[in-house]
Amino acid sequence: SSLHLIRKIEPYPFVPQDHAHRIKRCHEIRHMQAVGLAQRLKKIHCDHLVIGISGGLDSTLALIIAVEAFQLNGYDNKNIFAVTMPGFGTTKRTHTNSTSLMELFGTTCLDISIHDAVNQHFKDIQQNSETHDITYENSQARERTQILMDLANKYNGIVLGTGDLSELALGWCTYNGDHMSMYAVNASIPKTLVRYIVEGYAKEQTDKGNTALADTLYDICNTPVSPELLPPTKDGKIAQKTEESIGSYDLHDFFLYHLLRNHFPPAKIYALALYAFGEEQKETILSTLKTFYRRFFTQQFKRNCMPDGVKVGSVCLSPRGDWRMPSDASMQLWMKEVNHLS
């Protein structure tokens, strides 16, 4: 006879379920991020920072941390060069939230369209601008990174990376695009936790009476996760939604936690996911698990040259600390087990 678990399996292992505990944990994580960045800036005698703001969760959290690090060091927020770079997929909603965020934090605000530069690049490499393939998408990400890097040179600062742990696990970043920076404050924070940290900060701003900032932050939390590299819908809304392409971050973070923290094999992770998310999601869980293992193995090359960043939890993918793995490691054993699941 089969065994049945009687204990509860948490579907969000990175996120404390108790509200008070979660608020406290998110505040502690934010503080660790800010202290890490503040220390890096002091060590390299740097008081200028360049950061790209997309209107999404990750760059919003990175900006919050930048502001808190500057406060710790006694730096002027005007030395944070916050840059929004609208491209072919940028919507009015995310662009408005980006500019509002930068202004409300009192940063130096730059609005640089990448349309002309990318179209010129398409001509140079003979890319049809109507072909919305991976070249079309990644050219935009790399153009944005070039702008940020060169601004950092111009203002004698560093580029602050915004990518999170979940994106690193899946390789959901453009190599030498948003993948690269001088310091990555979100590198050990999974996507499911990023939202709660931003929401917690928004709640703090509400309590302080900063309603305009809080409202902007809440709207960012409610915006679909997207790289915004494909044109929006006819009514101006986000057409490219990340979780429709690679699966739910709820599932990916669950898989990641039990792979890295507990070292469980695919069959056990799958069985636990069925308990956590319900048997009715069986097909979705299995297809997402296949995506997870395939991407986790094939995208290691991006992690092997990832930027420095602060570690704030028990799980990290930095090649200089927790995770050493060859880029050409075979996924055969893991995929064989996954393919036998049903």
Q: pLDDT per residue over 126-171, tens digit each?
A: 999 999 999 999 999 999 999 999 999 999 999 999 999 999 999 9
Residue whose C-alpha is closest to residue 157's, from 222, 106, 83, 208? 83
Q: What is the pLDDT of residue 2?
A: 66
Model confidence pLDDT, tens digit, residues 210-258? 999 999 999 999 998 888 888 988 888 888 888 888 999 999 999 999 9
Cβ-contact 255, 275 below 8 angstroms: no
Cβ-contact 274, 251 below 8 angstroms: no
What is the rounded CA–CA span in Å between residue 169 and residue 172?
Answer: 8
- Starting at the earlier edge strand, list the strands of the sheet with 49-52: 108-111, 80-84, 49-52, 158-161, 183-184
80-98 core/surface letters (b: 16 or more CB in 10 A; e: else): bbbbbbbbbbbbebbbebb
Q: What is the pLDDT of residue 321?
A: 83
Q: What is the pLDDT of residue 327?
A: 95
* pLDDT, mean of residues 83-90: 96
Cβ-contact 27, 200 below 8 angstroms: yes
Q: State both tokens at 10.
A: 């948490």
Asked if pLDDT for residue 6 goes beyond 90, the answer is: no
Model confidence pLDDT, tens digit, residues 91-100? 999 999 999 9
What is the rounded CA–CA span in Å between residue 266 and residue 282?
Answer: 14
Q: State both tokens at 74.
A: 């006694």
* pLDDT, mean of residues 22-36: 96
CA 111 to chain centre: 21
Residue position matching structure tokens 């799980």: 315
What is the rounded CA–CA span in Å between residue 187 and residue 278?
Answer: 30
Cβ-contact 129, 87 below 8 angstroms: no
What is the rounded CA–CA span in Å between residue 231 and residue 80?
Answer: 29
pTM tops 0.85, yes or no: yes
Side-chain-facing half-sphere of 271: CA atoms under 13 Å: 11
Q: What is the pLDDT of residue 59?
A: 98
| 149 three-state secondary structure | helix
Which residues have C-beta within 8 Å of that of residue 142, sequence separation ≥ 6? 174, 176, 177
Percentage of the chain beyond pLDDT 70 is 99
Q: What is the pLDDT of residue 53?
A: 98
Q: State both tokens at 144.
A: 């944005």
The length of the chain is 342
Residue whose C-alpha is closest to residue 177's, from 138, 226, 125? 138
Strands 80-84 and 49-52: parallel
Asked if pLDDT for residue 108 goes beyond 90, the answer is: yes
